[in-house]
């Protein structure tokens, strides 16, 4: 079996998700920092392997996999313990719907390339960009808060894909000084997840290049 290599950026939410999943499944990997600020993800040799030119990319089992959801789905299919995506169709659909609130509706409009475009191409002031950022997180968190359990994790007694997606988004919210008091269930779940080594070890502060 070939070496497992993760091309990531320490502050990338999508990369953060994959680091958590790899840790939960106890998959050893080599990290290759890919600096988005210097546009390392647009280098010709990288784009040849990942045409979208984004992170993360996971090289595993001889494959170059991109997009965090696709990567985690592959890991769950090939290394099912602990399971992160339910096998039951109804439970799977419900879990994916929750996770996609972040993966599809919240994070994409707030990622680095979007924020850079708002500033460089649309001429927006930083305050307006920060307001944009907080608006979309608040909208996503309001929906997730309504769906969150009163006790336990989204995955019940063990983390699932929704939990994996939540933690990086909460970290982003805190980085932008968002008030999380309207989302007590999400804050509680995040705190419980942060106490799990697989989540704590994936935190950007733990993997930031020296």
Domains of the chain, residue spans? 5-82, 89-199
Q: Which residues of the chain have pLDDT under 50?
A: 1
Nearest to 113 by CA among 172, 58, 55: 55
End-to-end CA separation in angstroms for the chain: 30
Rounded to the nearest 5°, which phi and psi values hold at 188? -65, -45
Domains 5-82 and 89-199 share a fold: no
CB-based contact 103:145 (threshold 8 Å)? no
Q: Which pLDDT does position 209 carry in this prediction?
A: 87
pLDDT, tens only, 79-133 = 999 999 999 999 999 999 999 999 999 999 998 889 999 999 999 999 999 999 9
Residue owning tokens 């939990």: 163
What's the fold here for domain 89-199?
Glutathione S-transferase Yfyf (Class Pi); Chain A, domain 2 (1.20.1050)
Homologous superfamily of 5-82 in CATH?
Answer: Glutaredoxin (3.40.30.10)
Neighbours of 190 (CB within 10 A): 22
What CA dihedral angle connects 172, 178, 183 and 189, to 10 degrees? 30
């Amino acid at each position: 079996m070939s070496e497992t290599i993760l091309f990531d950026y320490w502050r990338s939410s999508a990369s953060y998700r994959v680091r958590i999943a790899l840790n939960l499944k106890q998959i050893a990997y080599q990290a290759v920092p890919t600096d988005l600020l210097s546009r390392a993800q647009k280098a010709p040799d990288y784009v040849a392997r990942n045409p979208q030119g984004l992170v993360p990319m996971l090289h595993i089992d001889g494959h170059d996999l991109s997009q965090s959801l696709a990567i985690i789905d592959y890991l769950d299919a090939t290394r099912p313990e602990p399971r992160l995506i339910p096998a039951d169709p109804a439970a799977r659909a419900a879990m994916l719907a929750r996770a996609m609130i972040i993966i599809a509706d919240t994070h994409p409009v707030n990622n680095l390339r979007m924020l850079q475009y708002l500033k460089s191409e649309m001429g927006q002031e930083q305050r307006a960009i920060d307001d944009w950022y907080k608006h979309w997180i608040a909208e996503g968190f309001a929906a997730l808060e309504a769906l969150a359990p009163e006790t336990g994790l989204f995955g019940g007694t063990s983390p699932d894909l929704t939990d994996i997606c939540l933690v990086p988004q909460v970290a982003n919210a805190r980085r932008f000084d968002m008030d999380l008091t309207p989302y007590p269930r999400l804050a509680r779940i995040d705190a419980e997840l942060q106490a799990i080594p697989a989540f704590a070890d994936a935190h950007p502060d733990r993997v930031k290049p020296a």
